[in-house]
Amino acid sequence: MEVRLLGRIEAWAGGRAVSLGGPHRVAVFTLLALRAGSVVPVAELVEALWDGKPPKSAVANVHGHISALRAAVREAGGPAEVLVTRSPGYMLDLGAGGHTDLAMFEDLREAALARRDAPAEAAELYRRALACWTGPALHDLPSPVLRRHAERLERRLLLTVRDKAEMELALGLHDVVIAETRPVLQADPHDERLRAVLMLALYRAGRQADALAVYREGRRALVEDLGLEPGPELRRLEKAILAQEPGLDLSVPFARAHPRQLPPAPALLLGRDDELASLCALLTSQSVGALTTVALTGHPGVGTSALALRVAHAVRPAYPDGQLYASLGGPGRDERPPEVVLDRFLRALGVPAAALPGDLAGLAELFRTVLADQRVLVVLDDAAGETQVRPLLPGGAGCAVILTSGRSLAGLDTSATLRVRPLAVRAAAAMFTALSGRDGPEVGEVGALCDGLPLAIRLAAARLAARPRWQVADLHRRLADDRLRLDLLTAGDLSVRGAYDRTYSGLGEAAGRALRLLAALVPGPVTAPRLAALMGEGDVVAEELLERLVDHHLLEPGRRTGGGWTYHCPGLLRLYAAERLAAEEPAMGGAGGGLTAPRPAP
């Protein structure tokens, strides 16, 4: 089945046109076609048809429109199962060989982005992408929801014209660029990047005065319409043209690159289906108006980074202008300054080194400017705190950020914050079996000794793989020994102990001592009075330190008892605390019930 959205809405099945019917029926079909292959909830269809004021019969009317569309597809010779019922709504399944002109446009645009190092090939791909358009997007549809879709599509059209012009400029086709970009710039006078392309084309064509006139026209439009001065790159280009700098004859300033920086997605991700679905839905929603920022936090080793990367790869097609990734190093000595990250991001986006500002504020301003009209996904892994993150946030509503951190970042304005929990017993056992290829009655207990932490489970499976003569029971017996467990949960440069070290280094002395003294408490719930007695502090101070450990996702708050809270300390963390206590406060190192006894070799 073939569907056309970039112009008049049309559908063809078996070479025959499908009679889509009246405006409401066309609107239903269009919404399904815009998200072909994905489920569109009935509530979304109702919102699009009646703009927040549906009649009582709205849901029944939607069902009726679907039935009529199925009949129309069958009448044209197409299969009825093109329109699939799937909770909580419907899905348009175009089948093998089916396509929409919008999908073709995006595929060609994506192919062109990947070939920008070969301007002739990229320009041809852009031309083919633009040929998919036969008129205004979603032509003649009155629905406000669909008009917003149309506006976004028209913006994509303008961006593609600009991208093609950049490639043609690199090929020396100055006259073509001038002829094609002038009318587009008149329709969107605030697009500074397109204005820069036109200015450079005019300059290279020997029309310096015209190039400067284009700058003045743009400045006037920005000041009068928006109360803004041109951005730093456009101002630099004007100065370069005035000075007739030799570099202007070589390349387009800020010729946009489309980085693909995501590390590989994890091959195995079990027990996270609900989180994955909700995050993907949020990051691919069509809502506009603000930057989408998703924060994933959790206990060290719980798998926030793995979940973030799986989500990032799943939503990558929704961010065709690029994906940026940075490991921020977490708290402590390895924390990466934001100016270092911004420098790398801007270079990856095509900004020449000579154009990079020398201060953090200037780098952040240029970063937001470059991404203002883009759809770029930014993944910031292992953030230390709000101060490190804020300069790395784009300003444009078309971008999105996935952020992971070992502590709560309450100071950031996020669209959603998800605390990733350890795996449930069954998921932990399934992960261990999938990684090790082993099964047995002790598998569930191995997962429990790993506290349901994916990192620990992965390392336990690696330990078993390194000892092929062992059975699961052999591994379980050794893990059950508190003296051996942390030593066993290590492989190469990965270890549970290392994950705790990174978090511990950022706690500060008071909270770090509170964590150490947890080992001096017998297993069971932790309370502020018990910790206060060990620290020689008041209950309020002890409770505040425990809450700081909660903020770093090291403790889980439990029940309120007697005016205070109980806190749960996972087994692996208690073993780590015992090690730190023995190393830093040896006088108290024996208080943990034998936890710090000498360790046999694993």
DSSP assignment, residue 260?
B
Q: How many CB atoms lie within 10 A of CB 51?
A: 12
Mean pLDDT of all residues belonging to the chain:
86
Answer for the pair 241, 212: CB distance below 8 angstroms, yes or no.
Answer: yes
Place of tokens 């809502």: 287
Provide the β-strand partners of residue 10.
4
Distances (CA, A) of 362 to 216, 365, 367, 562: 23, 5, 9, 53
pLDDT tens column, 15-40: 789 898 888 899 899 889 988 888 98
Residues with Cβ < 8 Å from 243, sequence gap 6 or more? none
Q: Is the pLDDT of residue 399 over 60?
A: yes
Q: Vertex 550, ends 546 and 556: CA angle to 5°?
A: 100
Distances (CA, A) of 104 to 11, 235, 596, 599: 15, 37, 63, 62
- What does the pLDDT average to over 498-515? 89
* Mean pLDDT, residues 531-560: 87
Q: For the chain, what are the domain ranges? A: 2-100, 102-249, 273-420, 425-480, 507-592
- Cβ-based neighbour number of residue 291 at 10 Å: 19
Q: Residue 308 is encoded by which pair of tokens?
A: 């973030």
Domain 507-592 annotated CATH 1.20.120.420 = no
Secondary structure percentages of the chain, helix, strand, coil, to 5: 55, 10, 35
Say if residues 497 and 537 touch (Cβ distance below 8 Å). no
How large is the average pLDDT for residues 320-347?
Answer: 86
pTM for the whole structure: 0.58
Query: pLDDT value at position 253?
Result: 45
Question: What is the architecture of the domain spanning 102-249?
Answer: Alpha Horseshoe (1.25)
Assess whether the region 102-249 and the region 273-420 belong to the same CATH fold: no
What's the pLDDT at 198? 93
Predicted pLDDT of residue 599: 47
Residue 311, SS3 per DSSP: helix
| Residue 600 pLDDT class (50, 70, 90 cuts) | very low
State both tokens at 256. Answer: 């946009």
DSSP state string for 318-375:
G-TTEEEEEE---SSTTPPPHHHHHHHHHHHTT--GGG--SSHHHHHHHHHHHTTT--
Residue 330 confidence (pLDDT)? 67
* Per-residue confidence band for 80, with pLDDT thresholds at 50, 70 and 90: low
Instruction: Report the distance separating Cα 3 and Cα 11, nearest Å.
Output: 4
Six-digit token pair at 307? 């979940």
Average pLDDT (480-501) is: 91
- In this model, does residue 254 exceed pLDDT 70? no
Assess whether pLDDT exceeds 70 at residue 591: no
What is the predicted pLDDT for the residue at 594? 40
More confident site: 67 or 410:
67
Instruction: Specify the CATH number for 2-100; select among 3.30.1330.40, 1.25.40.90, 3.30.470.10, 1.10.10.10.
Output: 1.10.10.10
State both tokens at 30.
């269009």
Please tell me the predicted confidence (pLDDT) of residue 566: 86
pLDDT (0 to 100) of residue 196: 92
| Helices 144-170 & 23-34 angle (0-180, nearest 10) | 50
Evaluate whether 346 touches 519 at the Cβ level (below 8 Å).
Answer: no
Question: By percentage, how much of the chain surpasses pLDDT 70?
Answer: 93
Considering only residues 277 and 246, tell me which one the structure prediction assigns the higher pLDDT.
277
Per-residue pLDDT at 522 exceeds 80 = no
Q: In this structure, are residues 371 and 345 in contact, taking their beta carbons and an 8 Å threshold?
A: no
User: Taking the CA atoms of the chain, what radius of gyration do you get in angstroms?
Assistant: 29
Out of 365-374, 381-390, 467-476, 497-506, pick the least confident. Answer: 365-374
Predicted pLDDT of residue 575: 92
Please indicate whether residue 450 or residue 396 has the higher confidence score (pLDDT). 450
* Band (289; pLDDT cuts 50, 70, 90): low
CA distance 303 to 241: 51
Dihedral of CA atoms 455, 458, 460, 463 in degrees, nearest 10, equals -120
Exposed (0-12), middle (13-18) or buried (19+): which is 124, by Cβ within 10 Å?
A: middle
92-96, 443-447, 507-511: range with lowest mean pLDDT: 92-96
Where does the pLDDT of residue 602 fall: very low under 50, low under 70, confident under 90, or very high at 90 and above?
A: low
More confident residue, 309 or 148: 309
pLDDT over threshold 90, residue 486: yes
CB 5 within 8 A of CB 101: yes
* CATH number given to 273-420: 3.40.50.300
Average pLDDT over residues 281-286: 82
What average pLDDT does range 184-206 have in this prediction? Answer: 89
* Residue labelled with tokens 């030799």: 246
